[in-house]
Structure formats: structure tokens, C-alpha cells
Amino acid sequence: MSEVQSVPKTLNFPDLSKEAVLEDFRVAMISRHASLVGRKEVFMGKAKFGIFGDGKEIAQIAMARAFQLGDFRSGYYRDQTFMFAIGELTVQQYFSQLYAHTNVEAEPASAGRLMNGHFATRSLNEDGSWKDLTKMYNSAADISPTAAQVPKLLGLAYASKLFRENKGLKDLTKFSVNGNEVAWGTIGNASTAEGMFFETINAAGVMQVPMVISVWDDGYGISVPNEFHTTKSSISEVLAGFKRTDTEKGIEIIRVNGWDYEALMHAYVEAGDLARTSHVPVLIHVLEMTQPQGHSTSGSHERYKDAKRLQWEKEWDCLGKFREYILSNELANADTLDKIEAEAKAQVRQEKEAAWTMFSSEIKKELNEAVALLRDAAQHSTRKVIINQLAEELSKTINPIRKDVVLAVRKALLLLRFDSAKVKENLKAWYDKQSHLNVDRYNSHLYSHSQWSVLNVKEVPAVYTEKSPLVDGREILQSYFDYTLAKDPRFFTFGEDVGKIGDVNQAFAGLQAKHGELRVSDTGIRECTIIGQGIGTALRGLRPLAEIQYLDYLLYGLQMLSDDLACLHYRTKGGQKAPLIVRTRGHRLEGVWHSGSPMGMILSSLRGMVVCVPRDMTQAAGMYNTLLKSDEPAIVIECLNGYRLKEKMPENLGEYTVALGKPEILREGKDLTIVTYGSMCKIVMESAKELAEIGIEIEVLDVQTLLPFDVHGIIGQSIKKTNRVIFADEDVPGAGSAFMMQQVIEGQDMFRYLDSEPQTISAKAHRPAYSSDGDYFSKPSVEDVVEKVYAMMSEVNPKKYPVL
């Protein structure tokens, strides 16, 4: 057995009365039998997959004892015992998630959108407004990718630091009580090999935030033992250099065995007290855990664990050791413990049956309706035999799911295509109704449904006078951010070089000195946890602006944006929101790594976020203002070559807004429509002047946002007038330009209005070469646009526009 650190027993020790200990035993037994029964349900075909928390019960109960109202958990899919222990998960809800019940009341964590073991509390009321998070036990919505739960843990903890030290936040009493809240994280031992984990630990040590992270160490990562995962086979030994000393700040490290009930209680009380009172991050390495059923229902651990290891796991199972502890301390006899276990087993069975009945009865009702409608349609159809056969097969389906029902109905409707409308009328009406319900069940809430949706923010135009000064674009942003920092105490920004020098393009120049380091902060080079810092603080009601210095560097944080932030509202079906704004810059500059425009990547991976592509800094400031009035996460991609270009300073800075999802017509024309955005707006507008000199008038539209995209059909109206269209951007071929084409030609049904084949203009397939020549020969130029437009017009009227 591993040697563990001795834990001082001078703190206020949790209640270890007979009643409290036996209650812990009861919860542990309920959780263990839920795991055992859950595995059987999967093998019986009643659920698709299962992953369970058996072997981790006692440590999670200890963590629950130290967890307080207002605290947040960011964990992973083996934390069921903890959720049972804090009262935020019932056994019935646990099985409802296993069955993927789409009713949010039955399965409040995700409404059946996540596999079992993914936990979340509902931070929002039905209208999207915040609940009082200080009066709740809070769990951030879980995600599956290994270690991806950890970066936002940093942000959840950092929020407490801000609430404690920023006096301007004292009135936000629904979100914090003087920053006393601890962020509790959990992770499996193998996942600590991920870079996200190390980056978070390092950042927490630098920032000194109230974070307690537990490593559940059962010695394996699926089939791979610790010796292949971790140097010295011990994450706490690897992190020894991070440990704080009497003279140096760092993290506290505690080692404790996962079967030692009393030592675990001491460890978690100490860790919680240290983090809560002193804002010191703590790592608890929980050793000698077991995994009685193996990793998941996908296979047996007997394939990779030898007989000696399997026998050790039986002997050192935490529940067996807990039972020994109770008996040796004469807190109960064997009969009492047997009775508690029998009652726990019965409770699990009863609540499992209730969950299955509730889940299956809904589908059986729909199945019976469909069968009756199929049989009725068959009586009047020319395909009577085969449709009756469909109905018969459907009625005999064992453990049916909605797919079985809908599939049968869709097949029938295809078979009924030659029958009269009257024959299929009722079946079609039922299918249409179910299709509408299934959109809500499986497809809704990708974006906000609340009154604070970006689409509901009123457009306020920028106002100018004759006295409006002409300034560098970056000065407009600087003035806007200065105004917003003074106006809204929830707003703050952080990122590499944002603080002292005011970002590399000077939009925050002088603002740290004016508003303080808590409002305008420098970070290390750590894009992954910059995003996590933003997600966590946004989950706690703050309005962070996380800066990623260049668009190319977004790749380091893309997983957090995609797997966590972009799908958060969807995967909780409106139960949580994190309105983080990510600020970055891209498009044209110099070379392979600072000229990126990977919009196709962003559009594909960040559905659920707003994607703003302002053409100048005036537009950018208006977009930031719109976003801060909304409750949706967003990324704003500023033009790298626009900070020194001159723009008029609006008179109503901080008040004007840009309508998102609404393209702006920059130039009217009759011959051809060009749809573009960002830095390409300047290129296309210059080409429009040249084309006008030879008699071609193009209409130029700036989409302004790629997500949402033209919700009013403005581009379609332009195409109806010109009957020709080019989609132009700086992304690689088939990416951003192809997205825009699909949205308009297919989404707005514009093909019928085209007199010429729709065209795209994009950059070359490679990243841009260095130097001005590299830019010219890699990205679209004015000449490229002119020649593309001219070629299209030449095809229409070769006499007027002869081939070049």
C-alpha cells in the first residue's frame, strides 16, 4: 500500500456520530447498487452504454461533507455518489439519464442529451434568468473529453477571488457571499497526463484561487496502468515542486487512501477550510481506489488485470473497509448493516422501475398511437399487406425507442405515396406533430431562447456630428472598453499582454492603471485555461472578455470552446449559460501564423456561439455592446490591419449597438451581389470602384456575423435584384465562402433567382506566405475580385465585356 501524508486533526471535524456514519453507509450502498443495476440494464438492452462510479464512494461522501451552499463542482462521469450525497441527484433521476429520458423534470441535468454519469444543476429559471446560486449546491455541466472539465474549474475558483477582492461586485449577492465559495474538481488518475490538467494546476498556483481538485486514483486508465501514464506512477509526486512552503506560494498537496473513511473526512475538511478561508489551491491525491466493474460496459477489466490485482481490489474495496470501520468502532452490528444494504438495494430497484416506467410509457403511448394509425391507413391503401406488416412488427418491438416508431411511420408514408391524401392524412398529421416535439426533445436550445438572446437586442445606430474626430480604430475600442469598465463592475478582461501594455494593439492601453489589475489582467501563455477561466467566471454571473492574442492561437483553446462552451446551453437544455466573449484578431498581416482566417474550422466547431466578424473597430465596439446586453457566448474576430486605420469616433460610444444576424449593404448595385465580411470588405469596396469605371455596378454586403447568419434574408433580397452572386472571404477554398453559399442558395432558396452560376472567392489552400508578396499571392486581392466579376459579366454579355 502507498504511504500517505498524515493529516492534522486540529480542524472542526465533521459529525461522526453513529447516525451520521450510518447515513453515509446508506448513501454509499445506494450508489454501489445503482452502479451494479445500471450495468445490468445496459446488458438487457434498456440503455445504450454505461459508465459508473463504483469504487469511488467513500471519498466522494467525504467531499460532499466539506461541500457548502454556493460551492461549485466541475467533475467527471464517476461522481454519482457525491451527487447523491449532496441531494442533487435521486436514484430515479440517475436511471432516467441512463435511459436518456428527454423530459427535463425527469432528467434535469441534460434532458436525456448526455450519457449517464454527466451531472449538472440548473442555474437558470425557465425564463433564462439566474437563480440564487449562493443558496444552491452547484454543479457545472459535465463533459466527457478527458481532463476537459479542469480548465473551467480554474474560472469557477477565480470568480470567488474576484467577488472577494473587487468591491464593485459586493451587490451581486445572488452569486457570492464575499468570495467564500470553493470550486471542487475531480479527475481520474490517467487524465492527469493531459496538458489541460498541468496548465490548470500551474495557473491555480500562480493565481492563488480557492480550488480543490481530487484525483481518483485506481491505478489504471481503462487498460493502461499508471506506469505508462505518469512519471513515478504518482501525480502527487510529479507535482511536488508545486507544493507551497512557508515562504513560497503554491498549491497544497494531500495524499489519502480511498478506503480510509476517517482520514478522508479529515483531508476534505482541511482542504475545504484552507481553500475557503485563505484561497489556497489544494490537490487531494486519493490513492488505492478500486473499480469493481471495470471501466464501463464496453468490456471487462479481467482482460487486463491479473488475478492478484483483482483479488487485491476485492480485499480493499472501500465499502468493505467502511463496513470494517463501522464494526470495529461498534457503531452498528452486522445485522444492522445488512438491513441497511438490503433497504438500499430495494430502493434502487424501486426507483429504477419508476424511472423505466416513466420513460417507456411515453414511448409505448406513441408506439400504440402509431400502430393504430398504420392499421387504419392500411385498410384504405393499395399497400395494405406490407403496411399491416409494419404495424405488426412495430407492436412487437422489445424495449422500443422513438427511432423505431418514427422509422416505421416514415416507411409507411413512402409506401402510401400513390394513395389519396385522405388515406394518409391522419398518419401524416401525427408524424408532423411528433417531428415538432422531437425538435424540442433533441435539437432545441443550441442558442438562447430567453429575452436576452442576441436577436432581441435593439439596434441603436452610431451617431456622428461634424465635430466627430477622426481617430485610429484602436482608439475607438480603447474608449469603449474604458466606458464599459467604468459602467459595469461585472465586466473584466484578461489575456496575454492585455494588462500592463494594454494588449499588443493597444485597445486597453492605460486601462489597467486606471481600473486595476482585477479588471484588466495579464495571464501567462495558456490559451486553454484562458478560455476555461472565462467559462468558469461566466458560469458564476460575471461578464468576462477573454483575449486570445491571435486567431491562429485559438487552436489551443478550441476544445474548451467546442466541447464545453459552445454546447453548454444545448446539453443542459437551457439549464446553464456562460456568456463569455472571446476577443481575438486575424485576417491579413504577415506570414503563416499571423494571417489566419480559419472560419470554416470555427463555423464547424463552434455552433452554439455567436461569431462576429466586424470590418472595422466601430462595428466591433457596437458588437461588444450588443453581446454584453445578451446572455450568449461569442467570439469577436477583429481585423489585424484595422487598428491604425482612421475612423470617426461615434458620439454615443457605449450606447450604440450592432444588430447581429443582419447584413449591412455597404454599396448598392444592379449587376451582381458580393457577400463578404471582415478585412475583405475593404478589398471588395476598392474593387467596386474599379468595376464602376468600366460600367459594372456591384452590390456589396457585409454579413457582420457568420453565426447567426442573415436571419432577415437581406442577401436573398439583393440576389433577387441582381440575379448574380459571389461569396468572398479569406478562408481556404470550400470553407467560409462555401458556408455562406449554402446558407443563401439553399437556406434562402435563391437558386431559382440566379441567371449565372454562383461563385466564390477565397484564399489559396495553404496558409499565406510571408511578406507583402506572400499576402498578395496567397489571399484575394482587388484584382482577383475585379477579374472574377468581369468574367461573370463577360459570360452574360461578351460583346460589352470581351474576354480578357
In this structure, the number of other CB atoms found within 10 A of the CB of residue 787 comes to 15
Q: Nearest-CA neighbor of 261 among 22, 457, 563? A: 22
Q: What is the dihedral of CA 472, 477, 479, 484, to 10 degrees?
A: 180
Q: Cell digits for 725? A: 452572386
Burial of 712 per CB tally in 10 Å (0-12, 13-18, 19+): exposed
| Cα 415 from Cα 561, distance rounded (Å) | 44
SS3 for 334-379 is HHHHHHHHHHHHHHHHHHHHHHHHHHHHHHHHHHHHHHHHHHHHHH
| Cα 67 from Cα 635, distance rounded (Å) | 34
Q: Please, which residues have CB within 8 angstroms of residue 450's CB and are 6 or more apart in sequence? A: 127, 128, 129, 631
Burial of 428 per CB tally in 10 Å (0-12, 13-18, 19+): middle
| Cα 232 from Cα 171, distance rounded (Å) | 48
Contact predicate 120/140, CB 8 Å: yes
Q: Cell digits for 462? A: 452610431
- 660-687: burial string, b at 16+ Cβ within 10 Å, e else: bbbbeebbebebbbbbbbbbbbbbbbeb
| Cα 204 from Cα 631, distance rounded (Å) | 27
What are the beta bridge partners of residue 256?
Answer: 286
| Cα 672 from Cα 453, distance rounded (Å) | 33
Known catalytic residue: 594?
yes
What are the beta bridge partners of residue 707?
Answer: 611
Length of the chain: 804
Sign of CA dihedral 291, 295, 297, 299: negative
Q: Cell digits for 397? A: 418491438
Catalytic residue among 569, 594, 712, 766: 594
Contact predicate 676/702, CB 8 Å: yes
Q: Nearest-CA neighbor of 763 among 744, 776, 748? A: 776
| Cα 14 from Cα 11, distance rounded (Å) | 9
- H helical segments located in 380-472: 384-395, 402-415, 421-442
Paired sense of beta strands 664-667 and 698-702, if any: antiparallel
SS3 for 234-297 is CHHHHHHHHECCCCCCCEEEEEEECCCHHHHHHHHHHHHHHHHHHCCCEEEEEECCCCCCCCCC
Q: What is the dihedral of CA 648, 654, 656, 657, to 10 degrees?
A: 110
Q: Nearest-CA neighbor of 781 among 683, 668, 671? A: 683
What are the beta bridge partners of residue 47?
Answer: none
Paired sense of beta strands 543-547 and 491-495, if any: parallel
User: Catalytic positions, please?
Assistant: 594
